[in-house]
Amino acid sequence: MISKQKIAPSRSPFMRARLNILLEANSIGQLVEMAGNLQLGECTFKIHCLNNSEDAVEPKLNRTVRNDYMKQLGYAIKAEPDLHKPDIILGLVLHEERFYLGELVYGEAVWFKHMQKPEMYSTALSTRDARAIVNIAAPYPEGLKIIDPCCGIGTVLVEAMSMGIAIEGRDINKRVVWGSRINLRHFGYEPNVEIGPIEEAKEGYDVAIIDMPYNLFTHTTGDLQQSIIANARRIAKRIVIVTIETMDDMIHEANLTIKERAILKKGKFERQVIVCE
């Protein structure tokens, strides 16, 4: 996908890398000619072609063609190659009949490190899903104030904080608040989590992320769910609700409009992710 947004690939569990495009051309010959003017200074480099089975960029090119393209570019670039520990990895890609060359930046599976928490519950969101939900809730998070008012053991809080996103948590259950604080400190983040219901939260948030409570430690009723949604509407401009049951009527009752919906599946267990404004 070509985009003008310079997204850090580590933000998403579904992104592997980003190519910072430096050159583009209609043919490999034209790209090779342009590569002769590429300025890398004292940096060493190597070239990696993304049109292969592992990187899965279409069209896939066979090894002979890929090696030929990379060799031509390597000879043209006026810098020192280093196939083992280069300062810069240059990515080459053929996409929709156009050639691109740029700096290849790989993402880090930060979420994977968060899978092993000191405090865990079987019904908690997976770290990968939590990270995706944070990105859905705040695709452009700079300057936003976010709250997770039913934070549980802090899965969403950990993912948001690891992306540098300002987020606060609260939960009515003292036991899970204690667990969330342990988890956050375990990964090096200062807990900003309060004990108390959403009804006590003050207004002024840009986004609220709500994983509706449901497990052995929290007994919910329809009235409680309606109150959570209504108060989320009170305190935040945008709300992302994660629920195991359909609650469109409750959402509309709170004067919210459903903008988007997705389904998360874990075996036979399903959750809805609903974006409301």
The answer to whether position 10 is within a domain reads: no
**81 in Cβ contact with 46 (< 8 Å):** yes
Same domain, 159 and 85: no
In the chain, the number of structural domains is 2
**Domain of 98?**
17-106
Cα three-residue angle 18-23-24, rounded to 5 degrees = 95
Same domain, 36 and 143: no
Label residues 118-132 b or e (16+ Cβ within 10 Å = b).
ebeeebbbebbbbbb
The answer to whether position 1 is within a domain reads: no
Where is the domain boundary, 43, 77, 106? 106
CA–CA distance, 90 with 8 (Å, rounded to integer): 17
Where is the domain boundary, 53, 73, 106? 106
The set of residues, in sequence order, having a beta carbon less than 8 Å from that of 75 and lying 6+ positions away, is none
Element housing 276 (H / E): strand 269-276
Where is the domain boundary, 81, 106, 131? 106
CA–CA distance, 49 with 68 (Å, rounded to integer): 10
**156 in Cβ contact with 125 (< 8 Å):** yes
Confidence at residue 56, expressed as pLDDT on a 0 to 100 scale: 84
The answer to whether position 54 is within a domain reads: yes
CA–CA distance, 226 with 249 (Å, rounded to integer): 10
Same domain, 45 and 140: no
**243: β partners:** 272
The answer to whether position 141 is within a domain reads: yes
The answer to whether position 8 is within a domain reads: no
Same domain, 46 and 121: no
Confidence at residue 215, expressed as pLDDT on a 0 to 100 scale: 46
Same domain, 140 and 94: no
Other C-beta atoms closer than 10 Å to the C-beta of 198 total 22
| Residue 140, domain CATH | 3.40.50.150
pTM above 0.75, yes or no: yes
Q: Compute mean pLDDT per 10 residues along the chain, 277 residues long, and list them.
A: 90 93 97 96 96 92 97 96 96 97 94 92 85 95 95 95 96 94 96 96 96 62 90 97 93 96 86 95
| Residue 33, domain CATH | 3.30.2130.30
Confidence at residue 1, expressed as pLDDT on a 0 to 100 scale: 85
